[in-house]
Amino acid sequence: MEWNALGITILIALLMLWNIDFVATLLNLKALSPEVPEEFADVFDAERYAKSQEYTRDSARFGIIESVASLFILLFFWFAGGFGWLDQLTRSWTENELISGLLFLGLLYIGNYLVSLPLSIYSTFVIEERYGFNKTTPATFAGDQVKSLLLSALLGLPLVAGLIWIFGNVPQAWLWAWILFTAVQLLLMWLAPAVILPLFNKFEPMKDGTLREAIERMAKKCEFPLAEISVMDGSKRSTKANAYFTGFGKTKKIALYDTLVDEQSDDELVAVLAHEIGHFKCKHIVQRLGVSIAQSAALFYLLGLVIDRDGTFARMLFDAFGVETISTAVGLVLFAILFSPASRILSVFSHAWSRRHEFEADAYAANAMGTADHLITALKKLSAKNLSNLTPHPFRVLLDYSHPPMLERLAALRRLKS
């Protein structure tokens, strides 16, 4: 490897990025308030509130360990010449650029998976178990891992193979690579509810009754094209609760975690779903998809520059990581590392945009329900059930929160009532 200006810049950026996250974590822990906010006094007793703070502390400590391990492994592999060594190893097995590229990415993926697996096991069976969230059995966990690996191979390998072939054989490769990526992205969005998600969870049609009737009335009132209402066995893995909708065009499907159905009243559940409908009616989903597609176009254009065999920048980047041959497969990995600091900065703006969307969806739900009361009580119950941090530091919110802090959401909903 060659310590050129680009390599030094990337190293400094990665270290600064880690330090920013570390500072945000410390500030977040310092912001924990020993007193239950008055707004939540009816759902958090002293014992449960103390438990939520300990959960926040344990999660933060684990997050620090996770980030240190991730940074250390990356830097060790980089400084030890691992990228160049792995590239040469896979090239020694075959002269076919496509196959060697797939082998490089596959081995790197498996190595990263094996390193992260113990952390995933600890998070699930120690931290989540300690606070009563975990319902995942070892057999379910193992099955999930096998399914995830098989899906990654079945879906990821053809996509990556297509990208490698395009960049090696097609003029204006970035454009065609972007088109392929976008097509696969849209295909997966279409396949997910019908094919992928049922591999991990059972979805049963909601039984006839007052709740189903109330949901259908709300969908009709909001002119929401509801095709299916399902209850998902979320309790198979966790006691945490959620709800979401999927589907394209005029076939929307709503799925509720069974843990959510068990804890909320009919009015509260309808209010939560009205919030999800609000995202659809306010065109948040379309907006986010459009931005995602535009962003991926920019990224593939930049990727084309990064792997340009005749480009000075590409040569500097590959030299910085000790890789002799400029290739698409290695370029995908190096570009991900190169872009990670910029992606972190851009995420600040995307999270702020997402938080604004949440306020808009809350307002839509309150208007559709004719009152904000049901959504307020639903959100408070969810916060208590999930042991949410009620007093996050603004810097942590700025960096990572796609949803506004719960106190801010409730305050905004109460202002709608006045």
Burial of 343 (0-12, 13-18, 19+ CB in 10 A): middle
DSSP category for residue 238: B
Q: Which residue has the tokens 């703070």?
A: 53
CA dihedral 238, 242, 248, 253 (to 10 degrees): 90
Read off the tokens for 215: 């949901």
- Please report how many Cα atoms fall inside a 13 Å half-sphere around the Cα of residue 97, on the Cβ side: 14
Rounded to the nearest 5 degrees, what angle is found at the Cα of 365, between the Cα atoms of 361 and 369? 175
Contacts of 407 (CB under 8 A, 6+ apart): 37, 39, 390, 391
What distance in Å separates the CA atoms of residue 229 and residue 203, rounded to the nearest whole number?
Answer: 9
What distance in Å separates the CA atoms of residue 291 and residue 284, rounded to the nearest whole number?
Answer: 11
Strand blocks (E) in 344-411: none
Residue in 362, 373, 400, 408 annotated catalytic: 362
Active site residue 204: no
Read off the tokens for 108: 């790197």
Tell me the pairing of strands 226-232 and 243-246: unpaired
Rounded to the nearest 5 degrees, what angle is found at the Cα of 315, between the Cα atoms of 309 and 318? 105
- Helix extents (H) in 170-265: 173-191, 210-221, 258-263
Beta pairing partners, 226: 252
What distance in Å separates the CA atoms of residue 123 and residue 127, rounded to the nearest whole number?
Answer: 5
Sheet with 203-205: strands ordered across: 203-205, 226-232, 252-257, 243-246
Residue in 276, 310, 324, 358 annotated catalytic: 276
Long-range contacts of 38-47 (CB under 8 A, 24+ apart): 39/380, 39/407, 39/410, 40/380, 40/383, 40/384, 40/390, 42/380, 43/380, 43/381, 43/383, 43/384, 44/383, 44/384, 44/390
Active site residue 362: yes
Spatial CA neighbour of 353 closest among 305, 318, 403: 403
Contacts of 246 (CB under 8 A, 6+ apart): 189, 192, 193, 197, 252, 253, 255
Catalytic residues: 276, 362
